[in-house]
Amino acid sequence: MNAPLPQAVALAVDAGTARLFQPGRIGDIAVANRVVMAPLTRSRADEPRGDIPGSAMNIDYYRQRSGAGLIISEGTQVAPGGKGYMATPGIYSDEQVEGWKRITDAVHAAGSKIVAQIWHVGRITHPALTGGLRPVAPSAVAPKGVVAYTHEGKVEVPVPQALSTAEIAEIVDQYRRGAANAIRAGFDGVEIHGANGYLIDQFLRDGANHRTDAYGGSPENRARFALEVVDAVAAEIGAGRTGIRLSPVTPFNDLSDSDPQAVFGHLVEQLDRRGIAFIHWIEGATGGPRDVPGFDFAWARRAFRGTYIANNGYDRAMAIEAVDSGRADAVAFGRLFIANPDLVQRLKRGAPLNTPNPQTFYTPGPVGYTDYPALAA
């Protein structure tokens, strides 16, 4: 588990002068460096008690990784129907809020900042995970080749229920309440999960959105739900503490679009007008190739005046170059943070990296969660 990864890094880079390791601001949030811990589903909430985070193990996990300038929490569902995986935490009950408060207190005491990633998975779930609730989506279109992992094993996700306009409004309000609860829980802001084939992404892309009303058809209509969520969250907690994660070209969770530049281009222009804190970009296919055509990320960098957080396959040299050149304001790392709780220090030193063990990404307990070693002092 702890063998070093090959280092495709330029050790000659002076970490003392690299902007990646310098303080900055992400909207209204002051950060100690521009290294961001990406949201990582770890499936270790207390599911029997109501998907509650905040165990001693959860607290230790986040505290260990508080060298990051900004931590983005694992996805936390805004309602029971938004849950798509076993033992993921929620942000809709008082008990969940109290659990998250123990985590945010620990992160702040360790000198970092943390935002909550609030999500609704839409059609990527099964009634066995939602307390019997049927999956929902913009249209009654099931994803192909997608299974849900339940306590009874792998099962195909069913055809979702197409949301009515009244139900859409209720989910928008669930996001608003989730954002309000995040601030109650001590988070410094929120990241709205608009990526990777979950509900907001399903509305954005015409591979899943076949609606003919105000939420479907044109790029403007397909972006409507995302912008309603952003507006509700920003009105509740402030635009300077609101961000969103987007993945315009990933095929993850069987999602596609006929013209990503059109719909995401419109969305970016509207987000810029709203002055939100950041857009967190998955550049390319999630966890895969970066050179997927269909969207101009360099254009997005120019068009959006807030913080551009880059993500997907970055190593030390790439991250330093991206921030020093101005192509990005910050860089998010996912799996490297799983295996390297002290990732920022390792990147500064050009030190070897522990190898993550995928077999323990979602298993209960501390193995593969809080037992990865840090560098010797």
> Which residues are part of the catalytic machinery?
198
User: Which tokens sit at 215?
Assistant: 């939420």
Q: Which residue has the tokens 């995401």?
A: 264
Residue in 175, 183, 257 with CA at minimum distance from that of residue 223:
257
Phi, psi of 307 (to 5 degrees): -75, 130
Which of 79, 72, 73 has the alpha carbon at shortest distance from 50? 79
CA 43 – CA 186 distance, rounded (Å): 21
